[in-house]
Amino acid sequence: MTWFTKWALRNRPALVFSVIASIIFGIFSYTRIPMELMPSADQPFITISVVGNGMDAVSMDEQVTQPIEKVLTGIKGKRNVVAETGNNFSQMTVTFESDTNLKEARQQIQDNISMVNLPNGVMKPYVVLLNTSQIPVVYLGLTFDKEIGNSELNLVDNEILPLFKDVKGVGNVITYGGKNQQVSIKVDAAKLAAAQYPLEKLYTVLKGKNASVAIGEQTLNDQETSIIVTGKLESLEDIQNLQLNKSTKLKDIADVSLEKDTTSITHMNGKSFIEIVVQKDSTSNAVTLGKEVAKLAKDINHDYKGTLTATVFINLADTVLNSINSMTREVLTGALFATLIIWLFLKSFRMTLITIISIPLSLCITMILLSFFGVTLNILTLGGIAVSVGRLVDDSIVVVENIFRRKQGNQLTPSFIIDAVKEVAVAITSSTLTTVAVFLPMTLASGSLRDLIAPFAITITCSLLSSLLVALTVVPALSGRLMKNIKTKEHKPRSFYPSVLRWSLNHKWLPIVLSVVVVIGAVGLFAMIPKGSVDQKDSAYLSVLLKYPNGSKFADIQDGLSKMETILSKQEGVTNNIVQVGNNADAAQFGELQDGNQVQFMVFLKEGTDSAKIAQALRKTKDQFPTAELTANTAGLMGENKTTVSVDVLGKNDADIKKAADIIIKKLNTIKGVQKVESNDADKKPKVNIIVDSKVANAEEISGSLQAMLKPAVIGSMKIDGRTTMVKLGALKEISTSNDLENLEIFTPDGPVLLSKVAKIEQVNQPGTLYSKDGQHYLQVNATVDPKKMVNVAGEINKQLLTWEKDKTFGDETSAELTGSSMQSTDDLMELAKLAMFSIGIVFMILLITLKSFRASFAILLSLPLAAIGSLLGLVVSKSSIDISSGIGMLMLVGIVVTNAIVLVDRIRHNEENMTIREAIMEAGTVRLRPILMTALATVFAMVPLLFAHESAMSMNLVSKGLAVVVIFGLIVSTLLTLIVIPTFYELFHFRKAKKQRQNEAKKMTEENHNEFSL
């Protein structure tokens, strides 16, 4: 590796140019790399959303959900299919194995579903695969000074949306809410009878009215002329004045008016609104785009004042910028701490400058490489820089310290510098490569975990390799310039450490026992420490839910919605709130269908407002909603800030499923760490079955007559204000009781007859919502748990489930299994454990190649359990759990802690060429003490800012306090123990050679004493 050093010293002008070019292109790359919140990662599931045509839950299940479930059986990589079917909707979630190509799976699902024949009126299913790159940059709402009608919708489509689409960097603009108005024809039955106009003709009254028919070409006035017959209905008056017969117009027998959609509600701050969602393209900068869209919103408010108001309620540009600025501060603070540590040890400004030059230069080279690899600047890549900033100076420290130590009494000639670098080149190269060998395999993780941590690993790999290059080129060249006039004092080794080391070598039993205790203690601590998920402590908004019983009237739900809007308008600290009720195509395209009896609010707060306090205040208003269940929780990027463990209960008998679910609920309430337990066991909803006597009537004809009388029917469409508007024929009868239904007079081929004469009417209760898993009906029990104890709670539940299965507590045809986020977290931790074992294997191979000694390599690996006990102690002290963040920290330790051991063992092996093993160990320990302490403390103090980093509500906190705790405590403990344990085991592994050397020394001393005595 000294080739780089020789080149740098012989080509100083080229080196200077390279440094300047790296800085310029590094800064340029930093400004050009797209900034975004998270790297692109697919969610490990696909959602299928279907909106019905007024069908009840049972009909939707039989005619929509089940046929779709059947065609999903052969999807590659499918783990299971969970379906929720309610009145007028069906939503299925397909989960996959971690190594599945989800984009191919989505295409396969779309192809299979296209072959399913769905009932008339059921919307085309939406197949949604969510990806973090699809996270919208800006959410904004358009509210109008009057009710939203066709003219307002035209304004949005023709003027407002093009403004957003023209913004540079916009990939997609999606609108939500603001459905077209519809023409409603409400027939007066008495007037219809008086006009002697058949009801059935009203269903075809628009037929042929809106048409454009080409007759063909004819020769007119000696020219070939096309003849086209056109008919148009373009206004409400045109419909009202339709001539039914000679004396009757439509307005004579019906009320014709424009109405808005009454099956769903979308409000912002109590008013109907149109939501605009702006997504960026793959290459644009989220921060720049967010600022441009916010500026455009201000311009719209100015240009359309008095007509509409544009309100931005989520702008990820602010979040990304705040997160990046926060992480940048932590990087700079960490670099400052590392610089102070180096200066305290070297006590020389010039030497400190030589050392820390590797930080900015390495980061500039890293930016160039990230731009080359197409990696964006996000929370995880900046986190990679933050955790590696202390490690960037390690190689430079070793080089500078070795040059400085050897300079005593020598001239800084190129050959001298090359020899000084050569002495440590193998050590720093192997230590850097072992660290890289830990991070690079992270790209081999499977599924969404790989997508998240791969940019993190690539960033650290690029920065470490850059720092090695700087240490072998720029640092020696600068040392030759800046250290010429530095007067070096003779380094006086400390007496304490050599004394402790010599005592330990003479009493090996103590370090050995200590190591065994450490390993046992690490195993015990690992078993004791709770295993959880990453806790989302901060909040971006509040999620408020009002859940009404099945069968609740829409008017009651509207009243509750209005009441909550009033409460929120008076709540101090609330800036905006948006609410959605009902299902439509807009909700389906986001995979966000929900029960029609649920009212979901997103409540946005002023900066600095105590979100938990407001959530608590909202919960206290539950008495104002006696028929609804009220929940209010803080929420972030991934939804509500709560961690759940789920148990699915499957079976063939609903009663047995319900009984098993009750047993599980009772048990879960007794487990430590469980905060709340609930199930999805839905209320029953009344249903009327009309059983037609087939001997006297036709069921299909009866159903057609009833549908015509009780349900509005779409009889056509027309253009009003330039928009396609549906025309609906309203219900002829309004009924409120089952008796009204029995006394309903229907038309048959034999004349009018009461429904009760030709059919039996039964009123029953049926589930308002049906849940199924892999085609079987099931119930899900959800336990809200302490995030720090999630994996522990899941383990306790799994243990109990095995006991119940063994005892057949639920019977032969009913079973229960653990599902949900707990399974994902366990899978992720297992994935990290596999990567750790793989990384250790690669590290060992690199050590074998560079050191060419099995025993020396194995001695270095002993630093790993020493780091484990330190990291676990840190988690105990900080009251943290083992989660993905701390798991990544432990993986990092594998590469970091071996660095010190490599530097120490490499020196020992060099010394063995002309020293005994004991002398080699003592000299290496004394000489390498200072660089080992410097590198360890520089890394530790560079990580300190992460301990106090603000954990954003809009990130996943993978680079957070847990990671910092593990690295800091693990590195401190392993460094202190490495200085004693590694030399002890090294001599132990060479005990025969060491024993022989001691015997030879003793023999030699005896001979010398004998010679002196003879003289």
Averaged pLDDT of the chain: 80
Over 70: is that where the pLDDT of 635 sits? yes
Tens digit of pLDDT for each residue in 964-987? Answer: 888 888 888 888 888 888 888 888
- Please state the pTM of the whole predicted model: 0.72
**Mean pLDDT, range 586-609, rounded to an integer:** 75
Tens digit of pLDDT for each residue in 463-479? Answer: 999 999 999 999 898 88
Q: What is the pLDDT of residue 492?
A: 58
**Distance separating alpha carbons of residues 429 and 471, to the nearest angstrom:** 10
Tell me the CA distances in angstroms from 494 to 346, 348, 806, 972, one per residue in order. Answer: 15, 20, 65, 20
Tens digit of pLDDT for each residue in 246-293? Answer: 888 888 888 888 877 666 788 888 888 888 889 888 777 888 888 999
Over 60: is that where the pLDDT of 923 sits? yes
Top-tier CATH class for 496-528+821-1015: mainly alpha
Q: DSSP letter for 882, please.
A: B
Q: What is the pLDDT of residue 369?
A: 92
Q: Which residue has the higher pLDDT, 411 or 398?
A: 398
Domains 496-528+821-1015 and 541-636 fall in the same CATH topology: no
Q: Which residue has the higher pLDDT, 633 or 166?
A: 166
Chain centroid, CA 547 distance in Å: 27
Q: What is the pLDDT of residue 364?
A: 92
As a whole-number percent, the residues of the chain with pLDDT over 90 amount to 5
Q: What is the pLDDT of residue 592?
A: 66
Does an H or E element contain 988, and which? helix 961-989
Residue 225, classed as helix, strand or coil, is strand
Compute how many other C-beta atoms are within 10 angstroms of the C-beta atom of residue 571: 17
Tens digit of pLDDT for each residue in 866-894? Answer: 777 777 787 777 766 677 777 777 777 77
Q: Which residue has the higher pLDDT, 768 or 454?
A: 454
Tens digit of pLDDT for each residue in 69-107? Answer: 888 888 888 888 888 888 788 888 898 887 778 888 889
Over 70: is that where the pLDDT of 486 sits? no
The closest of 496, 626, 492, 487 to 563, measured between CA atoms, is: 626
* DSSP β-ladder status, 182-187 and 723-729: parallel
Over 50: is that where the pLDDT of 539 sits? yes
Q: What is the pLDDT of residue 953?
A: 41
**Distance separating alpha carbons of residues 461 and 831, to the nearest angstrom:** 20
Over 50: is that where the pLDDT of 34 sits? yes
Q: Which residue has the higher pLDDT, 555 or 462?
A: 462
Q: Which residue has the higher pLDDT, 243 or 706?
A: 243
Lowest-pLDDT range of 12-26, 264-278, 330-344:
330-344
Question: Domain coordinates of the chain in residue numbers?
Answer: 496-528+821-1015, 541-636
Over 60: is that where the pLDDT of 823 sits? no
Over 60: is that where the pLDDT of 896 sits? yes
Q: Which fold has domain 541-636?
A: Alpha-Beta Plaits (3.30.70)
The burial class, CB within 10 Å (0-12 / 13-18 / 19+), for 177 is buried
Q: What is the pLDDT of residue 676?
A: 82
Tens digit of pLDDT for each residue in 725-758? Answer: 778 887 767 777 777 777 777 766 677 778 778 8
pLDDT band at 301 (very low <50, low <70, confident <90, very high): very high
Residue pair 866/974 in contact by the 8 Å Cβ criterion: yes
Over 70: is that where the pLDDT of 637 sits? no
Q: What is the pLDDT of residue 1?
A: 63
Over 70: is that where the pLDDT of 827 sits? no
Chain centroid, CA 400 distance in Å: 43
Residue pair 951/961 in contact by the 8 Å Cβ criterion: yes
Residues in Cβ contact with 809 at an 8 Å cutoff, skipping those fewer than 6 apart: 660, 663, 803
Question: Best-predicted range by mean pLDDT among 453-467, 803-817, 944-958?
Answer: 453-467
